[in-house]
Structure 1
Amino acid sequence: MTAVRSPWLVAFGLVAVVHLALNAAGTTPLDSISKCLLAPLLAVWVARQGGPRLLVVALALCFLGDLFLEIDDLFVVGMAAFAGAHVAFVTLFVRRGALDRLRRRPQAAVAYAVVAVAMVAWCWGGLEPALKPAIPVYAALLVGTATVSLAVDVRAGVGGALFLVSDGIIALSQAGRIDADATATGLAIMTLYIAAILLLATGVVRRDARTPATTPHRAP
């Protein structure tokens, strides 16, 4: 059975479609339940493909982030879980040689940093005081994931960029810069997030499958 035909990846795709439909219809709590199934299904697929443990950990932390963000007054806890996921993503790609490539071509890192600073500045005045210390740190982690993933693999790099955009929309909605309750906002956030974790996971698994086991940068 090929990786693409894995029942776990097929289930991820089906749940993603169902979730987006439920999200558009505003069907609660089914939309929350389907959302929390996404990352675990992808994590099981990665594990079944023999993917790196750090990628499974990152997806498990994404699940916790999704879960906590669905619970009232736990937004910061959800952010912390996603921050942990990005630490795992960054570590994963650094172990695969991202820093060496970035030293030779730092343009993407600079561009992402400029975008993140502009986004934080735009949001800043509308953020709740409790979020202000966390947002710059989290933005830096998003930039880290986007930058190091692109340095290692184009598909994963697109996933890292989409993660940055998805969470940027969340930040704008939290700051009142866009309508957080609009159907289009929720659909945009989740469509980008689903694509992000899918591309990150499949990019890493595909790359590792094509990389000889003796390559020094291949690590769990």
Structure 2
Amino acid sequence: MTSTGRRWPTRTSPASTEPTGAATVAAFACFALVVVVHLLGQLAGLDAVTNPTQWALMPLLALTLWSATRGRSRSRPVRLSMLALGLSWLGDTLPDLAPQDSRFVVMIGCFLLAQVAYIAAFWPYRRRSVLRHPVRAAPYAGVLGLLLVACLPGTGDLLVPAVVYGLCLTTMAALSTGVNRLAAVGGAVFLVSDGLIALDAFALGYDLTGHGFWVMATYVVGQGLIAAGVRRA
């Protein structure tokens, strides 16, 4: 789940920093616990467990990032990353409230906006990203190409939204390499998560055992590493 790359000097006393550290640890502990419960629910196929825990994942991760940054360290990239987490939360929740035939479109719309927010958050780091090096960017272009080849024949009326989302998702992952290694790995893992969703929705013959588990495992790991990279930056 970035900053400007600067650490603003602040004067704080040990007493003022301790609550922030404790709050961060508590928020992350809650996030980690919910992740474990959710993934166990995925393995067991328990919707009564997976639905409410999925709704809680991104708010807890956002709380962790928010409590880990304060004052001027909540730079524009940090705030945009918070926005991306909020939009991801909408992508996790709104489909459950939408009519059955529009749930997938609602999810794509919310996560498309989340990818745009991440792109804006990572944009200040673009000169350090793989986008400046065609050879290093080639794997990202290759993954996008493979996904399009596998998925486009089954997209139907969603052809244009699928292509736009794929481009934004890959751009986000490529830009994350300019932040730091944590964010880069997070962006790549997030790309894998959404790639699995695309394959399940559109690719003919796709059948991955434990699909829901792998989608959510890569999703929470990707978002968590992005958030950690943002905090470290």
| Structure-2 separation of matches of 1:136 and 1:24 | 31
CA–CA separation in structure 1 for the residues paired with 2:22 and 2:135: 33
1:148 aligns with 2:175: yes
Instruction: Kindly tell me the number of residue pairs found equivalent between the two proteins.
Output: 203
CA contact (8 A) 2:131 2:137 kept: no
Q: Counterparts in 2 of 1:18-167, with a 5 A limit?
A: 18-50=37-69, 51=74, 52-70=78-96, 71=98, 72=100, 73-95=102-124, 97-99=125-127, 101-102=129-130, 104-127=132-155, 129-167=156-194
**Identity across aligned pairs (percent)?**
34
d(CA) in 1 for partners of 2:23 and 2:139? 33
Q: Distance in 1 between matches of 2:127 and 2:133?
A: 10
Where does the alignment leave 5 or more consecutive residues of structure 1 unmatched? Answer: 208-220
Residue 14 (structure 1) aligned with residue 42 (structure 2)? no
What CA RMSD, in Å, does the superposition of the two structures yield over aligned residues? Answer: 1.9
CA contact (8 A) 1:123 1:177 kept: no
Tell me the distance in 1 between the aligned counterparts of 2:163 and 2:131.
24
* TM-score (norm: length of structure 2): 0.81
Q: Could you report, residue by residue, the CA deviation over 1:144-180 in whole angstroms, capped at 9, with x for unpaired residues? A: 111010122111011100111111111111124323x
Report the counterpart of residue 210 of structure 1 in structure 2: none
Which structure has the greater CA radius of gyration? Answer: 2
What is the CA-CA distance between 1:190 and the residue it aligns to? 0.6
Q: Does 1:173 align with 2:200?
A: yes
Partner secondary structure for residue 132 of structure 1: helix
Which amino acid is 1:17 matched to? V
Cα distance in 2 for partners of 1:101, 1:66 equals 29
Return the letter of the residue paired with 2:87: L
The 2-side partners of 1:183 and 1:19 are apart by: 17
Q: Name the TM-score, length of structure 1 as normaliser.
A: 0.85
Deviates more, 1:159-168 or 1:21-30: 21-30
Distance of 1:162 and 1:45 partners within structure 2: 20
Deviation at 1:102, TM superposition (A): 4.2
Write out per-residue CA displacement over residues 52-101 of structure 1, whole angstroms, 9 at most, x where no aligned residue: 21111000000001113445222111111111111111111112x22354
Listed as ranges, the gaps of 5+ residues in structure 2 are 1-17
- SS across alignment from 2:159: coil
Q: Which has the higher contact order (CA 8 A, sep 6+)?
A: 2
> For 1:196 and 1:94, how far apart are their aligned partners in 2?
18
